[in-house]
């Protein structure tokens, strides 16, 4: 019989990891940038306020482009931002499907 802890420790999904908490990242950015709230953070990052809300409620992951924007605004390294968020993975796996050209593109090229 496996426990919830066993399942989360073996899971590769970021949302299943116990340490993952985007609220730490958002709160740290608000503090570092001397902002008042999530609305001010969304203006600073140039994203819509619902994006911050969805990240806070774990309905939307912190994407690469947003992470880069956080880096540009805060001068924190990407590694530091990932640590604040609780993402301590060493490697990222990219699907081989991302590198395959679409059929319509290859037909046009010929």
Q: Crossing angle of helices 22-32/49-56, nearest 10°?
A: 130
| The domain over range 12-88 is classified in CATH as 1.10.260.40 | yes
Whether 22 has a pLDDT exceeding 50, the answer reads yes
Q: What is the residue extent of each domain of the chain?
A: 12-88
pTM over 0.85: no
pLDDT tens, position by position, 85-106: 887 766 666 666 656 666 655 5
Helices (H), the chain: 4-10, 22-32, 38-45, 49-56, 64-74, 78-85, 103-109
Round to whole Å and give the CA distance between 99 and 30: 37
């Amino acid at each position: 019989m496996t426990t919830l802890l066993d399942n989360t420790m073996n899971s590769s999904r970021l949302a299943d990891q116990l340490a993952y908490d985007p609220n730490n990242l958002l709160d740290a950015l608000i503090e570092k940038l001397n902002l008042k709230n999530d609305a001010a953070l969304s203006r600073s990052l140039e994203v819509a306020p619902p994006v911050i809300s969805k990240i806070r409620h774990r309905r939307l992951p912190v994407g690469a482009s947003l992470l880069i924007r956080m880096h540009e605004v805060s001068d924190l390294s990407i590694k530091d931002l990932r640590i604040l968020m609780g993402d301590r993975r060493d490697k990222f796996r990219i699907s081989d499907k991302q590198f395959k050209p679409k059929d319509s593109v290859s037909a046009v090229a010929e």
